[in-house]
Structure 1
Amino acid sequence: MLTYAFSVLVGPMSRELGVSATAAVGASTVAVLVSGLMSIPVGRWLDARGGRGLMTGGSVLAAVAVLGWSQVRDVFQLYGVFVAIGVASAMVLYPPAFAVVVAAAAPESRTKAILTITLVGGLASSIFIPLTGHLVQAYGWRNTLVILSVVTAVITIPLHALVVRRTIRQPEPGRQKEGSPRRVLKDPGFWLLAGAFVMHSAALAVISIHLVLYLISLGHRPATAATLAGLLGLLSVTGRLVTSLSVRWLPMATVTALVLAVQGVAISLLPVVGREVVGAVLSLTLFGLGFGVSSIATPAILLDRYGADGFGTISGMLATPVTIAKAVGPLGGAALAEAVGYRPLILTVAAACVTAAAALALTRRTQRAHRAR
């Protein structure tokens, strides 16, 4: 809800506040940046104190921040509220949830639990975007946010307070040194992972923001372009299932590298075949299968490489640059599209996906050397 409702609310909100849509969207960018900067301290807290208090507090902050959002009167108040939303996001979204699962679940159950979380998260857009749209139409954007604030408080606060167990891990025998966050920074494979997911995250963020505009520029009507773009969210769930099944035969890093390479090839075909609906559907279907793969791949690769000790901090170290790339990627994409057009932008996205795939493939070569030290 913290992520998906914004796209529906930005139009009526910006009109009432008398600000441009660009200025309003900037508030969302601020929230993403704040969330990224909070990733490491949140990870350290999770490793030292567990997830119950942190995630419960994050749920309270999220509910209060959304309620505050309903009362903003100018752009400065809006940005202030979204700083709070960014902090809350860092406390309750995927990275802390994965850290809690890693600490609480048995090793053989972790991948299944992470997959379940990502599948539910993948369906969030299908629930909250139309729900928010209906509420705005019936009650207006301010009352909608009040309702969503109550929903957030009623559902998430009790769940985090009562269901999340105390999750402070004891070090795993034989892996404490290997999993040390400080040692991770000396591992070349970590920087390959970071580079891969930074490029991929930026590429997906660019597509998320600019795809509809590019499809319209190819000659599709706005409604058709929006429908085609909707394939990405729908197929992201399928892609996660395919990926989790594939790791029965191949390592997660290898599977993810293959998926990212397919994404790069698929999106590179869009300028060629995308003027026809069938061609656009084919290209976006293949691209969409990898749209949510990094959500499940990141924790699985980190666990395979470094173990569970210090997972929250290590995950936060990776999430910080990845989240920042997600925030600034669309801005860089807009500048590139304005300077040279959308076709070079799409080809740049394709190159980023293929390069990320190559970096992930290389991490397998560095893993043996890392474990041997």
Structure 2
Amino acid sequence: MSSTAPQAAAPTRDGGHRRFSRGWQIVAALGVTQTIGYGVLYYAFSVFLTPMARDLRASSPQIATALTLSILIAALSAPLVGRRLDARGGRALMTTGSILGTAAVLAWSQVTNLLQLYAVFAVIGIACSMVLYESAFAVIVSWFDGNERGRANALLALTVVAGFASTIFLPLTGLLVDSYGWRHALLVLALIYGVAAIPLHALVLRRRTHTRPRAERSEIVRTATRQRPFWLLVIAFTANGGAVAVMAVLLVSYLIHLGHSPVLAATLAGLLGVLSVTGRLVTTGLQTRLPAALIAATIFALQGVAVLMLPLLGRTVPGAVSCVLLFGLGFGIASITLPHLIVGRYGTAAYASLSGRIAVFSVADKALAPLGAVALAQATGYGWVMGVVALACTVAALALVAYHRV
């Protein structure tokens, strides 16, 4: 799927222009599959939590463990998926993943006990590693090789569109469950995902036609993982990912703890998704003028300030709104900043492999950090949780500053 830099950067009548057009067809297809994929394979789970717990005679934490397991499996699968993407591209892998995801959701609708549920979600975790952001980003990075502005715009467009997954699929899933029950709702969602994702991945994506030799890709990865900059990226995006995951899970509960009504708390938390689009737009625009690492470091630092101020200002509505707005600006910037930093330092030949190595840490932390935060909140109170989140944001910012200086 890659091309030389002149082809990507300077479209010509018989080659570059067609490649540019094909690139945006791929972005459009991935926009559809990522939106539906996140909606069905991730966000819809929260709607099914209560009815599944009732029918399977299990507690909510036992049911929620299935999603945690899925995320951890996705993290562990990331390096292998990354190597496959670098070697062969995304067409076969993402098509297979969408078939696997569809089959797993169908199986999910038939589970009768926790063991079956956990087994299904282990499969969903594998499917997620094959079809969601990390794989889609690798396809775009490879296709827009040599066209930095095109790549930035493509990643922005993809994340803006897919950012509406929860907005679309949470109410849709709720309506389906209310009308047909959770098992039939899953059958409908599986059909929606399979009909959209399987043909789009199979027919629109293209095989990777120009790849570096395997030994050369392996050497890039070995060299990178032995050096400080790579591990600074791991620290930065793992710390920030954990902080964001904790706030996504606990913000509503904490705002209620501060004295706000459940409706207001949920409304303010809902702003995070909208603000993630704003943050991505601002970040992409600034990247043409300022170093991406310093832009992200500044925003991560501001998130830390927002979290520190929340216990002090959050008891009033204006104070809570201000803190949520400030934190929300950084809610989605990691997804578009990390590809830019990896490509800028290491090129595109081993992008997916390096991204997969980072995902082992960052994705696993997104699954585990909320569990630790809930335990800490129960043991010591929310104040300590906010302090740890602010510390994580600070660590992420300092790591990116150090990365920029190396």
For the superposition of Structure 1 and Structure 2, which TM-score range results when normalised by the shorter chain? over 0.9
Partner of 1:312: 352
Contact 1:218–1:275 under 8 Å retained in 2: yes
Aligned AA (2:291): P
Alpha-carbon shift at residue 168 of structure 1 (Å) = 4.5
Give the deviation of 1:13 after TM superposition. 1.3
Unaligned runs of 5+ in 2: 1-38
**CA separation in 2, counterparts of 1:59 and 1:279?**
43
User: How many Å separate the matches in 2 of 1:169 and 1:287?
Assistant: 41
Give a deviation string over 1:37-70, Cα, whole Å, max 9, x none: 0000000111112111000000001111111111
Q: Corresponding residue for 2:391?
A: 351
1:239 and 1:290 in contact (8 A); partners too = yes
Q: 1:333, 1:277 → 2: CA distance?
A: 24
1:48–1:168 Cα contact (<8 Å) kept: no
Name 1:276's counterpart in structure 2: 316
Q: Does the 8 Å contact 2:277/2:332 carry over to 1?
A: yes
**Aligned counterpart, 2:140:** 101
Question: What residue number does 1:116 align with?
Answer: 157
Deviation at 1:170? Answer: 3.0
Across the aligned residues of Structure 1 and Structure 2, the Cα RMSD in angstroms comes to: 1.4
Distance (whole Å) between structure 2 residues aligned to residue 178 and residue 20 of structure 1:
45
Number of positions where the alignment pairs a residue of Structure 1 with one of Structure 2: 363
Structure 2 SS opposite 1:107: coil
Q: Is residue 74–residue 125 contact of structure 2 (8 Å, CA) maintained in 1?
A: yes
Give the whole-Å Cα distance in 2 for the aligned partners of 1:141 and 1:234: 28
The 5 A counterparts of 1:1-373 are 1=39, 2-108=41-147, 109-171=150-212, 180-366=220-406
SS of 1:170 mapped into structure 2: coil
CA offsets per residue over residues 284-305 of structure 1, 9 Å max, x none? 0110010011011111110111
CA shift at 1:87, angstroms? 0.3
1:169 CA drift (Å): 3.6
Tell me if the contact between 1:264 and 1:349 (Cα under 8 Å) persists in the aligned partners.
yes
Aligned counterparts of 2:265 and 2:114: Cα–Cα separation in 1 = 30
Kindly, what percent of the aligned residue pairs are identical? 49
Partners of 1:46 and 1:168 within 8 A in 2 = no
CA distance in 2, matches of 1:177, 1:100: 16
CA contact (8 A) 1:179 1:309 kept: no
CA distance in 1, matches of 2:84, 2:233: 23
The two structures have a TM-score, normalised by structure 1, of 0.95
Answer yes or no: is the 8 Å Cα contact 2:87–2:211 preserved in 1.
Answer: no
The CA distance in 1 between the partners of 2:249 and 2:221, in whole Å, is: 34
Does the Cα contact within 8 Å between 1:43 and 1:316 map onto a contact in 2? Answer: yes
Report the alpha carbon displacement of residue 282 of structure 1 after superposing the two structures with TM. Answer: 0.7
Cα distance between partner residues in 2 of 1:197 and 1:169? 30
CA distance in 2, matches of 1:178, 1:356: 27
How far apart, CA to CA, are the structure 1 residues paired with 2:77 and 2:210?
A: 21
Question: 8 Å contact 1:42–1:316 — kept in the other structure?
Answer: yes
- Per the TM alignment, residue 179 of structure 1 is displaced from its structure 2 partner at its CA by 7.5
| Structure 2 counterpart of 1:362, one-letter code | A
| Matched residue, 1:371 | none
Q: Distance in 1 between matches of 2:263 and 2:245?
A: 21
What amino acid is aligned across from residue 164 of structure 2 in structure 1?
L
Moved more, 93-102 or 105-114: 105-114
d(CA) in 1 for partners of 2:210, 2:256: 51
Native 8 Å contact 1:60 1:153 kept in 2: yes
Instruction: Report deviation, 1:208.
Output: 1.2
Contact 1:260 1:356 in 2 (8 A): yes
Unaligned runs of 5+ in 1: 367-373
For residue 66 of structure 2, give the secondary structure of its aligned residue in structure 1: helix
CA contact (8 A) 1:236 1:289 kept: yes
One-letter identity of the residue aligned with 2:233: L
1:369 is aligned to none
Cα offsets for 1:93-139 (capped at 9, x unmatched)? 01111111122224222111111111112111111111111111111
When structure 1 is superposed on structure 2, of 353-362 and 7-16 the one drifting more is: 7-16
CA-CA distance at 1:171 after TM superposition: 3.6
Deviations 1:321-344 (CA, angstroms, capped at 9, x unpaired): 111111110111112111110011
Give the drift of 1:77: 0.7
Q: Is the 8 A contact 1:123 1:237 kept in 2?
A: no
CA contact (8 A) 2:217 2:350 kept: no
